[in-house]
Structure 1
């Protein structure tokens, strides 16, 4: 099957009652929002400082470098749980109340299993970031006029993969003690795409609860009060003397 070049998503809502009149089971609790997991990071500093465009760097060069890095890191992160993401366990590419569909080159909508969808994402990203006409690496080579739109497309796809990792495979990630890596990668990615408006907020809103927790800089620690000086013993001259009579 050829590489699919476009994707879209479809939002579905759970009905309040089943056909038999019974209420559906309560929505599964989002384990990735529990404080014991959200506080775990690989690094602990303001990511905003890490994504700001340096003065001496061209914007397209900065976008190209970071986009390529995020593609490699997210691909690596997914590979850690890929054995658990199968056509049987993940029959659709889901995240929260969203199912992601692909559209082929003829505009036909296709519902893929999650591993198929991720394979399409990574294959397309690999094709784009290694294309010298799109991501030039040689000195003097110009970026195409379509470069920013292609970067936005890549980032949108990569967000889908991150959202699926949290939604469907966070338990496996915790079992391998990799939640700190995933949290740091997600926060870095979200701060980056927000800085350069690379992904529509309507696309990322399904994970806003996590983004708020992971991307909000922690308040500075309260200053530690200086220890008070120990009370000194009174000097002999200050003591009252009693005279015998």
Structure 2
């Protein structure tokens, strides 16, 4: 297999590992070539160092290929149960799943018992925002009735024992650093362009995890199916419904809900009226260091302004993006509550899931795509990450967290 990889680069199946594997192959070939060219006139000490370097490459490469094949045999070679078709113009579409014959409802949520949500595509007045559960519990500081961390955790109605993803030892990430640097908008990038960029990128990241659940087992069923997940839920306290073609809230199996969600989001992203792709649109932000003309004088005083207008985005662009972020959050919530152990922990993918989700929360809150009360299904995890420093002070994710609950979770996990 090693010789085949050195000569062709096809020792493993095609997937997201290819760029890394090609770079490893080039480095290894260069190392062998240097060794062969200098064989006759290199001092033995240098030769020994080269040989050790080659052995380290071979050892690491063999480990990587073996680890990759183990994942390949289980889930990571999964294919969607339906892929996107190519458009007539050859434009690459976002990933879609084929559910022919299914209605095309608008995604909504149904959480906390009988509370139903509004049709997000209709022009209805928005519901008043309520503070998050964590904020409601911890806001009464002036009255002296501060809740303890134990009281806050008890109010979350968490199961006993606590889920694995609330253990600090399993809430780690694959990288260290400040995710805020990835969420901060560059000064010269227009706000609408920045939001659109994050919608697409976070959707692709999320779908890489959902596709793992699509893989079928030996009995022909997927990990997430109508038997294991008969409804789209995030623990015992939160469930989500879908509006059918008659705008009636209906409960669906989690996999069917996620499939409809994925098809709905990809349809929005591929709609050039919502996400325009024409290069003629203005895609830069007003920068005072470049021009001295005030922004108010660049447009007519009578024209209506909205986020993304300068780049050609429609007036309802922010509303659509907020809906997309809400739906993606609900999928993340289901992944954590129902599938963190199987399959992600068993595949050593829990750190990748944590990294993508923490980046997602920082971005969504910084861009006002998610409100505090919409974070409740995963509020304990947000508290934990605020307490251990994953969410930096000054970020909205840190502001929405309850540090007393997070510090208690750290103590329970032996991390403080």
TM-score, with normalisation over the residues of structure 1? Answer: 0.80
**Greater strand proportion:** 1
What residue is the counterpart of 1:156 in the other structure? 326
Q: Deviations over 1:37-93 (max 9, x none)?
A: 012x12111111210111010111010011101111101111123331011110000
Written as runs of structure 1 = structure 2, the 5 A alignment for 1:22-101 is 27=160, 29-39=162-172, 41-82=173-214, 83-96=222-235, 97-101=237-241
Tell me if the contact between 1:3 and 1:120 (Cα under 8 Å) persists in the aligned partners: yes
Q: 1:11 aligns with which of 109, 112, 118?
A: 112
1:60–1:218 CA distance, 2 compared to 1 (3 A): closer
Tell me if the contact between 1:191 and 1:215 (Cα under 8 Å) persists in the aligned partners: no
Q: 2:346 aligns with which of 175, 179, 201?
A: 175
Q: Distance in 1 between matches of 2:105 and 2:280?
A: 31
Tell me if the contact between 1:91 and 1:113 (Cα under 8 Å) persists in the aligned partners: yes
Q: 2:313 aligns with which of 143, 152, 167?
A: 143
Tell me if the contact between 1:103 and 1:110 (Cα under 8 Å) persists in the aligned partners: yes
Q: Report deviation, 1:148.
A: 0.3
Q: 1:191 aligns with which of 339, 347, 362?
A: 362
What residue is the counterpart of 1:243 in the other structure? none
Q: Distance in 2 between matches of 1:63 and 1:70?
A: 11
Q: Report deviation, 1:196.
A: 1.1
Q: Report deviation, 1:12.
A: 3.4
1:210 aligned to 2:365? no
Q: Which SS does the other structure have where 1:125 is aligned?
A: helix
Q: Distance in 2 between matches of 1:178 and 1:219?
A: 21
Q: Deviations over 1:151-172 (max 9, x none)?
A: 0000000000000000000111
What residue is the counterpart of 1:104 in the other structure? 244
What residue is the counterpart of 1:228 in the other structure? none
Q: 1:165 aligns with which of 307, 326, 335?
A: 335
RMSD: 1.9
**Greater helix proportion:** 2
Q: Distance in 2 between matches of 1:175 and 1:12?
A: 32
Q: Distance in 2 between matches of 1:219 and 1:209?
A: 13
Q: Report deviation, 1:10.
A: 2.4
What residue is the counterpart of 1:241 in the other structure? none
Q: Which SS does the other structure have where 2:206 is aligned?
A: helix
Q: Distance in 1 between matches of 2:179 and 2:111?
A: 31
Q: Distance in 1 between matches of 2:367 and 2:338?
A: 28
1:56–1:32 CA distance, 2 compared to 1 (3 A): same
Q: Report deviation, 1:109.
A: 1.2
Q: Deviations over 1:94-143 (max 9, x none)?
A: 10211100112422111100001000110001000111111112113410
Q: Distance in 1 between matches of 2:386 and 2:348?
A: 21
* Structure 1 stretches lacking a partner, 5+ long: 14-25, 221-245
1:215–1:63 CA distance, 2 compared to 1 (3 A): farther
- Length, aligned pairs only: 207
1:218–1:87 CA distance, 2 compared to 1 (3 A): closer
Tell me if the contact between 2:107 and 2:261 (Cα under 8 Å) persists in the aligned partners: no
Higher radius of gyration, 1 or 2? 1
Tell me if the contact between 1:163 and 1:207 (Cα under 8 Å) persists in the aligned partners: yes
* Structure 2 stretches lacking a partner, 5+ long: 1-101, 115-158, 215-221, 282-311, 393-416
TM-score, with normalisation over the residues of structure 2? Answer: 0.48
Q: Distance in 2 between matches of 1:2 and 1:185?
A: 30
